[in-house]
Amino acid sequence: MLPTPDAVDQALAAARSRYIEQRPLTCAMQTTAATVLPGGNTRTVLYHPPFPLRVARAWEGCFADLDGHEYVDLLGNFSAGLFGHSHPTIVGAVMSALQQGMSPGAHTVHEVAMAQAVCDRFPSIERVRFTNSGTEANLMALSAARAHTGRDRVLVFSGAYHGGLLTFASGASPVNAPYDVLIAPYNDADAVGRLLQDNAGTVACVLVEPMLGASGCIPGDPEFLRSLRSATERSGALLIFDEVMTSRIGAGGLQGRLGIAPDLTTLGKYLGGGLSSGAFGGRADIMSLFDPAAPGALPHAGTFNNNVASMSAGHAGLTQVYTPEVAESHSARGDALRHRLTSVFRDTGALFQVTGLGTLMNVHATTTAIRRPEDLLETDGRLKELLFLDLLEAGYYVAPRGYLALSLAVTDAQLDGFVDAVATAVTARPVYAAPRD
């Protein structure tokens, strides 16, 4: 039998009550924050009821909240915190750059070194420009595609997230930039083909995450992604891979694993070594639109695009810490963790599964196959929140939506403890049990 709604509600209410009782200082800070920030918040994804955690200090792969509770950080700042909170090589690179002077308002050698590292890592990127976030990178890539093709429409996918101004969880968000968009179902090559045919000559680009991130780490089928390459070539549209998250998976991102060369690629998250950064790049003929020495060049402003801290931290991260060899081994480490969690859920009969690739994964409250976001519409979000609170009590921090992004700083012993904590949590609560045939 499925757990009754009352049983889940009661368990969740009790878990929330314990959370509140154990965090009086965090609760007080939330009250203060709400007097100056809408809902006490300036980054929506970090909010969760009854009130969000407030970090007092962070080190390596851990942090402590205002009330002194310590956690192993398995969220990794939604994949931006790949290097942990205090990697000495990253800290050293930032300090060295800052000691040479902050915000010079001119070209520096740091951006050149960083650009060389990006182009070396991702062969499809022949030229690159930097931004302050993945959101900016995607906005600029779309502008480049529209200018290059002379077309206006953009084809995206249901459930996609390309930044705060390009989100399609339930259609187009009211805060989205006003692009003329066509929304296709994910992992459906036939639907994409029909849309491109029905809108022939009007689609500038297809923008795709090779693994849907915010919708639950749902990988694109390799044949689906390869079909996008051939379909865009036939239609004259550009193919843009949003690898803001997935570029950390393996030595050359998912495009490297799949052997697909998109026309443009967007990057972000960990790229700046844990500091604000993003990038868009690709074919030299497209990126030449932004050559300021050329007549009629497209403008691309951004006061902090080439800031010395992000450029230095990012270069150190790509060339000294997250080398291609480390990227491969770390991705394998993430795959192993996902397989271990899958075994726990199977062996305990829990109503959960985990999807993802490499060090990016998401726990879902269902045992049915997941190929697109629509497959998750009937799942019970209360169970994921309950598991999130249970894991917090055990000293492990993941996203309330079940998302994990494994950092380099988390140790094997901490991962062993996490797997044990998951097994203990799902075994202890009858409401987690999957229905029996």
Catalytic (active-site) positions: 161, 242, 269
What are φ and ψ of residue 185, in 5° steps?
-70, 140
Residue 244 and residue 267 in contact, taking contact as beta carbons nearer than 8 Å: yes
- Angle at CA 190, nearest 5°, toward 189 and 192? 65
Contact 134, 78 (CB under 8 A): no
Q: Quick check: 24 and 67 in contact, CB under 8 A?
A: yes
Structure tokens at 198: 């029905």
Report yes or no: 279 and 131 within 8 Å, Cβ to Cβ: yes
Task: Tell the burial category of 295 from Cβ atoms under 10 Å away from its Cβ (0-12, 13-18, 19+).
Answer: exposed
What's the rounded Cα separation, in Å, for the pair 110 and 269?
Answer: 19
For residues 300 and 287, what is the distance between their CA atoms, to the nearest angstrom? 11
Residue pair 59/86 in contact (Cβ under 8 Å)? The answer is yes
Q: Which residues, at least 6 apart from 293, have a Cβ–Cβ distance to it below 8 Å?
A: none
d(Cα 315, Cα 41) in Å, to the nearest integer? 31
Burial of 244 (0-12, 13-18, 19+ CB in 10 A): buried
- Round to whole Å and give the CA distance between 378 and 281: 38
Q: What is the DSSP letter of 88?
A: H
Contact, 408 vs 363, CB < 8 A?
A: no
Q: Are 129 and 271 in contact (CB under 8 A)?
A: no
What is d(CA 59, CA 142) in angstroms, rounded to the nearest whole number?
Answer: 37
Helix (H, G, I), strand (E, B) or coil at 297: coil
Task: Calculate the CA dihedral of residues 137, 142, 146, 149 and round it to 10 degrees.
Answer: 90
Residues 6+ apart with CB under 8 A from 157: 168, 183, 184, 185, 186, 208, 209, 212
Residues 85/72, Cβ–Cβ less than 8 Å? no
